[in-house]
Structure 1
Amino acid sequence: MGHCCSKNIAVNHDSVDADHVVKPPTSNHAAAPSPAATPGLSVSVPGDAATPGRYTPASSFSTSPFTSPLPAGVAPSPARTPGRKFRWPLPPPSPAKPIMAALLRRQGKTKPKDGPIPEEQGEGGGGGGGAEGERSLDKSFGYGKNFGAKFELGKEVGRGHFGHTCWAKGKKGELKGQSVAVKIISKAKMTSAISIEDVRREVKMLKALSGHKNLVKFYDAFEDTNNVYIVMELCEGGELLDRILDRGGRYPEDDAKAILLQILNVVAFCHLHGVVHRDLKPENFLFVSKEADSVMKVIDFGLSDFVRPDQRLNDIVGSAYYVAPEVLHRSYSVEADLWSIGVISYILLCGSRPFWARTESGIFRSVLRANPNFDDSPWPSISPEAKDFVKRLLNKDHRKRMTAAQALAHPWLRNEKNAIPLDILIYKLVKSYVRASPLKRAALKALSKALSEDDLIYLRAQFSHLDPKDGCVSLENFRVALMKNATDAMKESRVPDILNLMESLSYKKLDFEEFCAAAISVYQLEAHPEWDKIAATAFAYFDETGNRVISVEELAQEMNLGPSTYSLMNDWIRKSDGKLSLFGYTKFLHGVTIRSSNSRHRQLP
């Protein structure tokens, strides 16, 4: 969307081998560079007007083992990055290669012999099977054809690779005299059926989700022979990125909290409705006004998608510095957005990126293998709660990462004024619990008894959202709570389908104690700094109430494991009494087994 302009500040390239550099093109901005800009930073224009399927490349001048081209004392920018990359004569095997190939396939392009990555193609776009293939594409969206009659188009305020955003004023109707932002996407750049469907989905998503205070307001969509016009709220306060730069690269903790509360609230809203954004970064958050306490809005749903509660996506999209490890592994869901928020949190608190490199390959390798630095300044002066918050978002195991609702309940952000929203995760966990074996439910009940009061705050909020009757909840409570939040987006992503897998609750009620057992995630608790203590306490409860004599064969059947695992499971059972040991208990907790009419046992991932 790119409603507001960004800085375009020159970088001294003298200290870098010119043979290895392709300089980024000069950005065409509608506003002059800010005098408050940090010198030595190279920032490109927003990519939010681009056709979905793009991938934002790495900065050429990020922190690295090589000599910095920046002046002494000037740190690399946590900002968006130039649209070019270094080319080394003999590059090492690169994890970027299959990713680039996937992106090319998504846009219907053939692999270039030695060309730029997809979003670096010229303004003409290209690719997509040639003119004959393009003529066969249906580029009619069914939107209104009277854009010119309703709006007076003004200056350009942002530009992406496949389109641009302009200021406009309503000429008649409800928006008469009102300033708006118009995202203009060229139909000539829609060179594949996927790109056409992506534009259609973006409009559908904006229309379905519009209404949240931290989500850019959608007004209408139009088209003509050449373009699609998406009319939205005009945000005139600039990007979050610009404010980070204006503050010298980092925020005090209290100010960072105010930013993250807004981000997490809107992301929790999207995830509940089955929408994963997939391109969360400081450039995609705009302030409504220039005021210091202005409301912030998330923009650019061009890469977003609908995702069912148990679905895994596999297409690789996003921006290099903010992409989650599981996206690079091509199996991810809404948790990938929380990784991106973790990167934003790290930048807000310390002013630098948690993962960096000079090339796309290097960035991906860092994301997959490196750990963020929490030792160097300013981290020693940052509160332990803030560090724990960031670490629990930047966990490479997506199963151990906090959800947006859980992040809002984290001690660092928790505030009585800030409500904790309904979390779709509890539906997934309760679904598994009610279909689990009695032994597994007993193990989880013991685990829930080991939680501290601090850990129960999130669960109490979720239980309250279900509006319990006589202290208990049933399937109807889960259904009503979900329908209270229903939108067209939720229907599109088929979120209510999860209720069909919770039918066992039609004949059962959960009090708060059992709800806690059903709605806790073993994987997330493993990331808790006190996990060893929690597990030992839980096992003590389990040993008293639920532990029973069990054979290796029975245990393997419980966990849907074959005979080849028997030898590995001998240590899980105590020789003295034939019951599970502490080690066996913690291993058993991970194997959530369910029963169905077609298969006696099946293990969930």
Structure 2
Amino acid sequence: MGGCTSKPSSPSVKPNPYAPKDSLPQNDDSTPARTSTAVKASPFFPFYTPSPARHRRNKSHRDGGGGESKSVTGTPLRQLARAFHPPSPAKHIRDVLRRRKEKKKEATSPAARQQEEEEREEVGLDKRFGFSKEFQSRMELGEEIGRGHFGYTCSAKFKKGEFKDHEMTTAISIEDVRREVKILRALSGHNNLVQFYDAFEDNANVYIVMELCGGGELLDRILARGGKYTEDDAKAVLIQILNVVAFCHLQGVVHRDLKPENFLYTSKEENSQLKVIDFGLSDFVRPDERLNDIVGSAYYVAPEVLHRSYTTEADVWSIGVIAYILLCGSRPFWARTESGIFRAVLKADPSFDEPPWPSLSLEAKDFVKRLLYKDPRKRMTASQALMHPWISGSKKMNIPFDILIFRQIKAYLKSSSLRKAALMALSKTLITDELLYLKAQFAILAPNKNGLITLDNIRTALATNATEAMKESRIPDFLALLNGLQYKGMDFEEFCAASISVHQHESLDCWEQSVRHAYELFEMNGNRVIVIEELASELGVGSSVPVHTILHDWIRHSDGKLSFLGFVKLLHGVSTRQPLAKTR
């Protein structure tokens, strides 16, 4: 248990875990976007401007390499292979701690303390975290066992643990560590989440004490199998990943760097439990908020991250990449340069034609495809993925409350009566898999004896799995936006209409048939002569806009009712005035 974040140390560039077996060790393209070489914007991706932290790490690498500049963007071959690790810094760190302890005995005079304060002010960064300063008296540092984005993980005695050494020479890296500790403190209570024990600091380091996972990385096991899992073995891994990610998303935490290296096994046993680690790039995200900074690892980064507007769905994309690798042993998106990888992520479609895909089940392919939709609105959530036929099969899955339901109900309550009627008609065409998922979510909300759910039901469902992280992401405050349920219950029929994701339903093969049937139902039960002002309000059309021109295709001229095209657009909530999403 244990981890340390070193403030002044100079990190080595992370080795490439995917380098081809017949090649020399080289730097990894999957290094987080904050650690790439280029400081100026890519000529192919002008929107992509790397963080200063990337330049800092690369400069440190160049300065320590005998004057020879080395690129961190050399991309290995597509197949998976392991490169060599650079020398362990554990011995060096122990020597530094020993010398620091000896120096502390000597530097007890007021003049020495004043000089130390002046040196700290010279750096110009506030590196105080408010953690305990008793690390050396409570723990003994052991050997290196792994590496993170900005540092090292070592075993330690205090009772077994880990030590993490991070470079912290910029405000960005300091803030990353503050946020990582805050998230680790706030998240708790899930079996697939690495356990956090405590954090310490001294003048140069932050020590994060965590559960020791001695079973190695998921990546190691993938490589040991030659990069290919059976479908059943892949399911066992993905169920654990989906469970913990669904839990994090419910708390309002997006990991932002999910990859095989960031999942550890607790022991060497074949059926050992899997734990997610490394929350150094994670962040809190509110239900009505989108993030805009580009972080993560190139091969696993979602398209919307590159477009600088994303939320929890970005993690699901990364799980889709992991699922693809588990089942076929290669990456779905590959190129020889970082910009090439980004271009593939944005434009290319993963191949399901090459072996072993033709021999895998249709359900397995459908599962991976639905995680890798480029439009995040069409992508399954982690909770939905647990209900996918390939994962659940005939087994009964215990799934957490899905935060997507929360957002969908909020949008439904704000909709006009016309759109509610259209959604009700579409909900009558739901397929079996969608109904099973909605029934499971409805049951989690524990409807009353009348079969109705209220605002109190949703509040109770959130409180059941609540952690401190949920308060930080302001999810409880978001309940105020559901005040439409305060005095009115919602039965299962209306719950389906409120919770259906039109974009996800549109991605199904049966969409065309489904939406036409829904329009027929709408014609019988919900269609009526359109009040232009009502429809204009639904679309957010201002008074200065020529409303009749915009709505020309929406209304049937024979009777003034909504046309089929208008019905489809209304279902999507298409607006001529798209509201600006909150980003940060």
TM-score by length of 2: 0.81
**Structure 2 equivalent of residue 462 of structure 1:** 441
SS state at 2:264 partner: strand
Does residue 509 (structure 1) correspond to residue 489 (structure 2)? The answer is yes
Return closer, same or farther for 1:264/1:118 CA change in 2, 3 Å cut-off.
same
Work out the CA distance in 2 between the residues paired with 1:323 and 1:134: 37
**Structure 1 equivalent of residue 107 of structure 2:** none
Work out the CA distance in 2 between the residues paired with 1:361 and 1:109: 19
Q: Residue 373 of structure 1 is aligned with which of 351, 363, 370? A: 351
Work out the CA distance in 1 between the residues paired with 2:409 and 2:121: 48
Give 1:107 deviation, angstroms.
7.8
Q: Can you list the C-alpha shifts for 1:459-515, whole angstroms capped at 9, x where unaligned?
A: 111111111002001111111111222111000111112101111111211000001
Work out whether residues 168 and 179 of structure 1, in 8 Å CA contact, stay in contact via their aligned partners in 2: yes
**Structure 1 equivalent of residue 161 of structure 2:** 180
Q: Residue 556 of structure 2 is aligned with which of 574, 587, 605? A: 574
**Structure 1 equivalent of residue 406 of structure 2:** 427
**Structure 2 equivalent of residue 61 of structure 1:** none
Work out the CA distance in 2 between the residues paired with 1:498 and 1:203: 25
How is 1:396-415 mapped onto 2 (pairs within 5 angstroms)? 396-415=374-393
Work out the CA distance in 2 between the residues paired with 1:591 and 1:26: 45
**Structure 1 equivalent of residue 420 of structure 2:** 441
**Structure 2 equivalent of residue 93 of structure 1:** 43
**Structure 2 equivalent of residue 8 of structure 1:** none
Does residue 351 (structure 1) correspond to residue 329 (structure 2)? The answer is yes
Give 1:551 deviation, angstroms.
5.7
Q: Residue 236 of structure 1 is aligned with which of 200, 207, 214? A: 214
Does residue 587 (structure 1) correspond to residue 569 (structure 2)? The answer is yes
Work out whether residues 56 and 320 of structure 1, in 8 Å CA contact, stay in contact via their aligned partners in 2: no
Work out the CA distance in 1 between the residues paired with 2:481 and 2:297: 35
Q: Residue 135 of structure 1 is aligned with which of 123, 136, 160? A: 123
CA RMSD across the alignment: 3.5
Work out whether residues 188 and 467 of structure 2, in 8 Å CA contact, stay in contact via their aligned partners in 1: no
Q: Residue 527 of structure 1 is aligned with which of 507, 532, 536? A: 507
How is 1:271-420 mapped onto 2 (pairs within 5 angstroms)? 271-415=249-393, 416-420=395-399
Give 1:429 deviation, angstroms.
0.8
Does residue 104 (structure 1) correspond to residue 85 (structure 2)? The answer is no
Work out the CA distance in 1 between the residues paired with 2:150 and 2:516: 56
Work out whether residues 221 and 230 of structure 1, in 8 Å CA contact, stay in contact via their aligned partners in 2: yes
SS state at 2:559 partner: coil
Return closer, same or farther for 1:526/1:111 CA change in 2, 3 Å cut-off.
farther
**Structure 2 equivalent of residue 34 of structure 1:** none
**Structure 2 equivalent of residue 71 of structure 1:** none
Give 1:40 deviation, angstroms.
3.2
Work out the CA distance in 2 between the residues paired with 1:92 and 1:45: 19
Does residue 158 (structure 1) correspond to residue 146 (structure 2)? The answer is yes
Work out the CA distance in 2 between the residues paired with 1:443 and 1:392: 25
**Structure 1 equivalent of residue 540 of structure 2:** 560
**Structure 1 equivalent of residue 234 of structure 2:** 256
Q: Can you list the C-alpha shifts for 1:402-440, whole angstroms capped at 9, x where unaligned?
A: 110011111111253421210111111111111211111
Work out the CA distance in 1 between the residues paired with 2:427 and 2:579: 21
Give 1:259 deviation, angstroms.
0.6
Work out the CA distance in 2 between the residues paired with 1:406 and 1:588: 25
Work out the CA distance in 2 between the residues paired with 1:257 and 1:532: 31
Q: Can you list the C-alpha shifts for 1:284-338, whole angstroms capped at 9, x where unaligned?
A: 0111111111110000000000010111101110000000111111111111000
**Structure 2 equivalent of residue 491 of structure 1:** 471
Return closer, same or farther for 1:476/1:108 CA change in 2, 3 Å cut-off.
farther
Give 1:134 deviation, angstroms.
6.0
Work out the CA distance in 1 between the residues paired with 2:289 and 2:412: 19
Work out whether residues 291 and 311 of structure 2, in 8 Å CA contact, stay in contact via their aligned partners in 1: yes
Work out the CA distance in 1 between the residues paired with 2:433 and 2:241: 23
Work out whether residues 275 and 493 of structure 1, in 8 Å CA contact, stay in contact via their aligned partners in 2: yes
Stretches of structure 2 that go unaligned for 5 or more consecutive residues are: 4-11, 63-67, 75-88, 90-118
Return closer, same or farther for 1:578/1:249 CA change in 2, 3 Å cut-off.
same
Alignment identity in percent? 60
Q: Residue 544 of structure 1 is aligned with which of 500, 505, 524? A: 524
Give 1:38 deviation, angstroms.
8.1
Matched letter for residue 93 of structure 1: P
Work out the CA distance in 2 between the residues paired with 1:364 and 1:565: 40
Return closer, same or farther for 1:321/1:161 CA change in 2, 3 Å cut-off.
closer
Give 1:261 deviation, angstroms.
0.4
Work out the CA distance in 1 between the residues paired with 2:193 and 2:247: 10
Give 1:516 deviation, angstroms.
0.7
Q: Can you list the C-alpha shifts for 1:12-53, whole angstroms capped at 9, x where unaligned?
A: xxxxxxxxxxxx979699xxxxxxx983377779999x9xx7
Return closer, same or farther for 1:208/1:196 CA change in 2, 3 Å cut-off.
same
Work out whether residues 155 and 162 of structure 2, in 8 Å CA contact, stay in contact via their aligned partners in 1: yes
Work out the CA distance in 1 between the residues paired with 2:16 and 2:443: 51
**Structure 2 equivalent of residue 168 of structure 1:** 156
Return closer, same or farther for 1:603/1:361 CA change in 2, 3 Å cut-off.
closer
Return closer, same or farther for 1:374/1:153 CA change in 2, 3 Å cut-off.
same
Matched letter for residue 160 of structure 2: S
Work out the CA distance in 2 between the residues paired with 1:204 and 1:47: 28
Work out whether residues 187 and 469 of structure 2, in 8 Å CA contact, stay in contact via their aligned partners in 1: yes
Return closer, same or farther for 1:146/1:111 CA change in 2, 3 Å cut-off.
closer
- The count of residues paired between Structure 1 and Structure 2 equals 518
Q: Residue 196 of structure 1 is aligned with which of 174, 185, 191? A: 174
Work out the CA distance in 2 between the residues paired with 1:307 and 1:42: 40
Work out whether residues 54 and 118 of structure 1, in 8 Å CA contact, stay in contact via their aligned partners in 2: no
SS state at 1:238 partner: coil
SS state at 1:157 partner: strand
**Structure 2 equivalent of residue 55 of structure 1:** 34
SS state at 2:278 partner: coil
Work out whether residues 251 and 349 of structure 1, in 8 Å CA contact, stay in contact via their aligned partners in 2: yes
Work out whether residues 388 and 433 of structure 2, in 8 Å CA contact, stay in contact via their aligned partners in 1: no
Work out the CA distance in 1 between the residues paired with 2:2 and 2:358: 36
Stretches of structure 1 that go unaligned for 5 or more consecutive residues are: 4-23, 30-36, 58-83, 86-90, 124-130, 171-177, 594-600
Work out whether residues 559 and 592 of structure 1, in 8 Å CA contact, stay in contact via their aligned partners in 2: yes
Work out whether residues 134 and 192 of structure 1, in 8 Å CA contact, stay in contact via their aligned partners in 2: no
Work out the CA distance in 2 between the residues paired with 1:2 and 1:496: 32
Work out whether residues 2 and 158 of structure 1, in 8 Å CA contact, stay in contact via their aligned partners in 2: no
Give 1:109 deviation, angstroms.
9.8
Work out whether residues 425 and 518 of structure 2, in 8 Å CA contact, stay in contact via their aligned partners in 1: yes
Work out whether residues 2 and 207 of structure 2, in 8 Å CA contact, stay in contact via their aligned partners in 1: no
Work out the CA distance in 2 between the residues paired with 1:435 and 1:229: 47
**Structure 2 equivalent of residue 147 of structure 1:** 135
Work out whether residues 102 and 315 of structure 1, in 8 Å CA contact, stay in contact via their aligned partners in 2: no
Work out whether residues 251 and 466 of structure 2, in 8 Å CA contact, stay in contact via their aligned partners in 1: yes
Q: Can you list the C-alpha shifts for 1:205-234, whole angstroms capped at 9, x where unaligned?
A: 112113210011111111112211111111
Give 1:453 deviation, angstroms.
2.9
Work out whether residues 27 and 73 of structure 2, in 8 Å CA contact, stay in contact via their aligned partners in 1: no
